[in-house]
Structure 1
Amino acid sequence: MAENTDVVVIGGGYAGVMAANRLTLRGDVTVTLINPRPDFVHRIRLHQLVGGTGDAVVGFREVLSERVRLTVDSVARIDTAGRSVALASGGTVGYDYLIYAVGSGSADPGVPGAAEFAHPLADLEEAERLRPVLDDAPATAPVTVVGAGPTGIETAAELAEAGRAVTLVCGGVLGPYLHTKGRRSVATRLARLGVTVLDGSGTKVTAVTRDAVRLADGRELPSRVTVWTAGFGVPDLAARSGLSTDALGRLLTDETLTSVDDERVVAAGDSAAPSGLPLRMSCQAAMPLGARAADTVISRIAGERPADLKQSFVAQCISLGRSDGIFQFANRSDVAVGFHIDGGLGAKAKEAVCKGVLKHLADEAGKPGSYRLHRVPGDARRRHLLRAGHGGTPVAVERTA
């Protein structure tokens, strides 16, 4: 009888669920998914949860294979020597292989008053705390959204469409990923919604108080509710467990997503830093990374050399309220190009992406091994950097679809 292999996946986000589902391809593998929540969080809809136009919670059984054992708990520490994880509630879970997919969350703003008076928006609990704060504020009360990446833009648009008086503080450029043409389209739509957009170097936030936001250029903006979307961080579990990480705390791996410290530990998603060149934090990267991580484990079980990472990007999509959006096309190296779809068609494209993400996960649960996007020829710029030996740790500051 073939020996059974136990694989533990830490984190039930886009990368973790994809990896867990794919591992069921082998009948001799037992998969345990450890996640702190009993439901799947569709993070690219959190702005809708805050705006009251949609939900961001999906039952795990809609996207997770029945063969995956779900443990609702948090991991306190990874013991690589003992091949086990210690649970926050007590007890341990052993593993033969571990997939580290803990995702990302809010980063410390490092701005006086922000931790006390601003409301972050990186996970479900933060969105659930923010929603009643907005409900309690008068409709005419000034709302300030800090951060002009996709999360900030989407949140500002959603709240403005609901009739809120919204100021979007960019701290730099509006939509830094976008091509100039796409940025112009987004600015036009935000203006139509009544959003006041403040950009430029003088708009960096220097302090947040209970009822105001102060900028580097000396301006003080009245703000009844301040929403903070500038920057993401990752949990420190890997570092606390003695594993090598980059400056942000992402697990350092080789191009097969295997930890540089332990070939039994494989990373995926926002918390992975392959060759010190982490990918843009996004579900667009997370799902292929999850599939690649699972393939790496499956190859090792079979005694084969795992394939190297391939990652191909195509776009960034941003909703601008319920009837407008933008689908910003990009090359495979994740650089925006001069072509985009906006307006109603852009909104439909974004909605199709949101639904398509869940379909990819559900399809892999029903037919493991069917997902193939992680095999598409990838980023030529990345290959060049690797050949030249230019590994680094660029800090990704926005998480997007």
Structure 2
Amino acid sequence: MKHRIVVLGAGYAGAFAAGSLARRLSPADTEITVVNAVPDFVERMRLHQLAAGQDLTPRKLADVFAGTGVRLRLARVTGVDPERRSVAVTGVTGEEGEGGEGELSYDTLLYALGSSVARHDVPGVAEYAFDVTGRSSALRLRERLADLSEGGTVLVVGEGLTGIEAATEFAESRPDLSVALAARGELGAWLSQKARRHLRRAFDRLGITVHEHTGIEAVEPARAIAADGTSIPADVTVWSAGFAVHPIAAASGLEVAESGQIVVDRTMRSLSHPDVYAAGDCAYAIGDNGRPLPMSCASAGFTSMQAAAAITGRLTGGEVPAIGLKYYGNHISLGRRDAIFQMVDADVRSKSWYLGGRTAARLKSGVLEGAGWSIAHPTFGMPRRKRRLATTPDRAGVRVAA
């Protein structure tokens, strides 16, 4: 029988890892299946652009994986049973025309279901707020913003990268709207002094109002209520106050952190179930600086490369390399013509040097194009001879060299 590898999720982490595994492993003795809820690859880092009214050309996952040997299953994951090595799915469709409830068995599982918006149980967020953590939610926000007339008010909640990029994108695309951002702390507090000044100049140039040291404790249809009782007008509230992972991992019996992320070792292997790996936002992984990796596209890149390399090494009896888990900087878009590239040290503290303006914007555009290109070409550099599996199974069910 072929060794069955199932990858849950086809975001930046899952799609890249699946392509990497297909590039390295021989289809003669491995079968790779990717399970994803939607047929397109979602460029999550560009969803604020989509919401602002810009058109992004979608990439069909069927086209991405064409010719790779990867089997695509369009389905929503409803449960994982690591003891039985099975995944429960619903709405399964694919090239074989399956449908309804279903179950997939695996020998090795790569869990890469990503994250969604963290609502923090704030009243009204689920009912009235919008977000840009998924394509469908970004399109819903796009439609609502298009309905706003001149003078309409938009409040972005959250001073992280997503909040900053969303606020500046909306303000640049719709100068007729009144855009504001609510920050629990100081805007850009983690940036160097020069980068922070650049950020504030960008906000001033775009006419964005900043409410610093303002926590939002309730969202209503036309306003948000701050912790001190202040009412902030908001025809549209965009919630970007952090990310949360799906509770499927915790419910499955896998060891998870308080955040619900799967606790993994240095190779992205589950500490509780060695035939399960995790990559992307759903992995609780420790970086080279001894701190947990933040939920981000950069982390998705690091962890997916490490997981694919570890799975390949263990299945073929080869070396398991250690991929670097180190950040070099933050790329922050400030609309289409401005950006900030902030270098950081080993402890992820901002260095004094930063790059801003159009040059930084071009750099950020290149990063986005590169990420998209790597997903669209999953088998680039395909070796002429793929690695075969070793023959002796170990106690975890992964075959290793005799």
TM-score with structure 1 setting the length: 0.86
Give the 3-state SS of the residue equivalent to 2:379 in structure 1: helix
**1:204–1:368: structure 2 CA closer, same or farther, 3 Å change rule?**
farther
Deviations 1:224-254 (A, max 9, x none): 1111111110111111111111111100111
Aligned sequence identity (%): 38
AA at the equivalent of 1:311? L
Which structure 2 residue ranges, 5 or more long, are not aligned?
Answer: 92-100, 384-402
Residue 212 of structure 1 is matched in structure 2 by 223
AA at the equivalent of 2:196? R
AA at the equivalent of 1:34? V
AA at the equivalent of 2:44? R
- 1:166-205 alignment to 2 at 5 Å? 166-200=179-213, 203-205=214-216
Aligned-residue offset at 1:316: 0.9
Which structure 1 residue ranges, 5 or more long, are not aligned?
Answer: 370-401
150, 156, 177: which one pairs with 2:161? Answer: 150
Give the 3-state SS of the residue equivalent to 1:71 in structure 2: strand
AA at the equivalent of 1:9? V
AA at the equivalent of 1:227? V
**1:17–1:65: structure 2 CA closer, same or farther, 3 Å change rule?**
farther
Residue 114 of structure 1 is matched in structure 2 by 125
Give the 3-state SS of the residue equivalent to 1:88 in structure 2: strand
Give the 3-state SS of the residue equivalent to 1:73 in structure 2: strand
Aligned residue-pair number: 366
Residue 394 of structure 2 is matched in structure 1 by none
8 Å Cα contact 1:63-1:365 kept in structure 2? no
Question: More deviation in 162-171 or 109-118?
Answer: 109-118
Question: More deviation in 252-261 or 54-63?
Answer: 54-63
Question: What root-mean-square deviation, in Å, do the aligned CA atoms of Structure 1 and Structure 2 show?
Answer: 2.0
8 Å Cα contact 1:109-1:115 kept in structure 2? no
Aligned-residue offset at 1:346: 1.5
248, 254, 262: which one pairs with 2:265? Answer: 254
Question: More deviation in 59-68 or 256-265?
Answer: 59-68
10, 19, 22: which one pairs with 2:20? Answer: 22
**Structure 2 Cα separation of the partners of residues 125 and 180 of structure 1:** 37
**Structure 2 Cα separation of the partners of residues 367 and 30 of structure 1:** 20
Aligned-residue offset at 1:48: 0.3
Aligned-residue offset at 1:96: 1.0
**Structure 2 Cα separation of the partners of residues 56 and 257 of structure 1:** 32
Deviations 1:61-96 (A, max 9, x none): 564463211100011111222222111231211111
Give the 3-state SS of the residue equivalent to 2:49 in structure 1: helix
AA at the equivalent of 1:196? T
Deviations 1:158-187 (A, max 9, x none): 111121210111121213442232122111
**Structure 1 Cα separation of the partners of residues 285 and 48 of structure 2:** 29
AA at the equivalent of 2:219? V
**Structure 1 Cα separation of the partners of residues 188 and 137 of structure 2:** 23
276, 279, 299: which one pairs with 1:285? Answer: 299
Aligned-residue offset at 1:51: 0.6
Aligned-residue offset at 1:304: 4.7
AA at the equivalent of 1:120? D
8 Å Cα contact 1:21-1:65 kept in structure 2? no
274, 293, 296: which one pairs with 2:285? Answer: 274
8 Å Cα contact 2:305-2:323 kept in structure 1? no
**Structure 2 Cα separation of the partners of residues 273 and 56 of structure 1:** 32
**Structure 2 Cα separation of the partners of residues 364 and 321 of structure 1:** 29
Aligned-residue offset at 1:308: 4.2
TM-score with structure 2 setting the length: 0.86
AA at the equivalent of 1:26? L
Question: More deviation in 62-71 or 150-159?
Answer: 62-71
8 Å Cα contact 1:328-1:337 kept in structure 2? yes
**Structure 1 Cα separation of the partners of residues 7 and 292 of structure 2:** 20
AA at the equivalent of 1:270? D
Question: More deviation in 173-182 or 139-148?
Answer: 173-182
Aligned-residue offset at 1:219: 2.1
**1:177–1:38: structure 2 CA closer, same or farther, 3 Å change rule?**
farther
AA at the equivalent of 1:266? Y
Deviations 1:294-332 (A, max 9, x none): 111112212356344531211111111111111112234
Residue 50 of structure 2 is matched in structure 1 by 49
Residue 354 of structure 1 is matched in structure 2 by 368
**1:106–1:368: structure 2 CA closer, same or farther, 3 Å change rule?**
farther
2:376 pairs with 1:365: no
**Structure 2 Cα separation of the partners of residues 179 and 365 of structure 1:** 39
**Structure 2 Cα separation of the partners of residues 185 and 222 of structure 1:** 27
AA at the equivalent of 1:346? A
**Structure 1 Cα separation of the partners of residues 345 and 186 of structure 2:** 21
Aligned-residue offset at 1:15: 0.7
- 1:1-400 alignment to 2 at 5 Å? 4-24=2-22, 25-27=24-26, 28-55=29-56, 57-61=58-62, 63-64=64-65, 66=67, 67-89=69-91, 90-161=101-172, 162-163=174-175, 164-200=177-213, 203-274=214-285, 277-304=291-318, 306-308=320-322, 310-368=324-382
Residue 395 of structure 2 is matched in structure 1 by none
Deviations 1:176-232 (A, max 9, x none): 4422321221111111011011112xx111222111112223321111111111111
Residue 398 of structure 1 is matched in structure 2 by none
